[in-house]
Structure 1
Amino acid sequence: MLAEYLENTILGKWTNSYSIFSGFIGEQTCLNNLAKKIFNKPLFRKDFNSENRPKEFTFFFTPTLKNYNDFVHLLDKMISENINRKFFEGKIELYDFVEIEDGVIERRSKGTIRLFEEWLNEIIKIQGDGSLNKVFKSFKNVRKERQNPAHKVTENIYDESYVELQKNLISDAYNSMRQLRNLFQQHRKAKGFEIPIWLENGEIKSF
């Protein structure tokens, strides 16, 4: 039994812990609001607070391959498919131009995660290797995991290892979203922006 469930429902005690899923949504919402304040454009097409929160955005009850793949699909929709391409207009080249043959050039759209990473690397320099590879690695992993089952016929296999895989996936995504929010918060135009106390100081746990 989760300690938070015991304290809240049985012992009648108030706990200051928050679900990592709520933490992810809170960080993404703050990041989006910071983008609006600083750049006058939303970074994400939508937020997932209150009634917009998908009911499946939680730990699954049964650790099966189907449930894991469904969760990966949902998380990718909340991240890469949710990034607003219009945010990068005028900030970075949105396309690759590839020569096919005989001088024929094909224009190919860059992926949203790539756009975000390239743009941020142009305006922010990080200590160490000078890049944001580690921050975006979790988002890329979600995208990669989604693509793996996308073109395969898979059985609904039961395996308890999917519990840890899901925990790692949401934990890494939450940490990356939090780091990005912290970066945006350092912008001079973000002065006065208030982060909710529960998000800044609350104890985020995997439940």
Structure 2
Amino acid sequence: MIHFNELRITEDNKSLIIDVSVDSDSCFSDVTLDTIIIDNQDTYVDNGPSSNPVLSINAKENYSKVLVEESCCYTPVYVESQEYECYVKDDKNIRVLVRLDEYNIKSTDMLFVYVMTEGTPSCNVDKSYILGTVVNLYSIYAKAMDYIREVECVCSTPKHFVDFILRLKALELCIKTGNYTQAIKYWNRLNINPSNECCYG
């Protein structure tokens, strides 16, 4: 019913991009985007979103419609200039750029982005929202480059590097299968620096 076109933390670790649309199928003609809710690893609850999310954005209250020129014609767009950078083609498509520091969101947080809808589809759907998980793997991959030096060590098994790879794969598997509680545990473990006892001679 809904799909993310883009969902990521920017390369500078300063913003979260959320670009989401209602599917174009005719049975969703009465469905519109309503609210974006963001939880992190501390506020996440099963069958969320939580009652105390990190951020909640009600598009219909926070954005006012204006007309902007797009290609050859004018298109209605919702724009809110104070808290978010938001561009909406209509009430079925939204693109929001959330500045992390304004909401005390860390680039090392595991974020759970819920997009809620309004309206009733004419076909059967399981849920009236979509959930996307966002992690910034830059710091994790930077840590991997430290551990990879263990592979060159002839005096012992590269245990920290092997441990790191297993943790990363476990995280990926948990996210893909929707086991978010376990994913949070692996994410927290990935952000812990184990002591490196390998000799680098």
Indicate the TM-score class for this superposition, using the shorter chain for normalisation: under 0.3
Q: Over alpha carbons, which structure has the higher Rg?
A: 2
The structure with the greater share of residues assigned to strand is 2
Question: How does the TM-score come out when normalised to structure 2?
Answer: 0.26
Higher relative contact order (CA 8 A, sep 6+): 1
The structure with the greater share of residues assigned to helix is 1
Question: How does the TM-score come out when normalised to structure 1?
Answer: 0.25
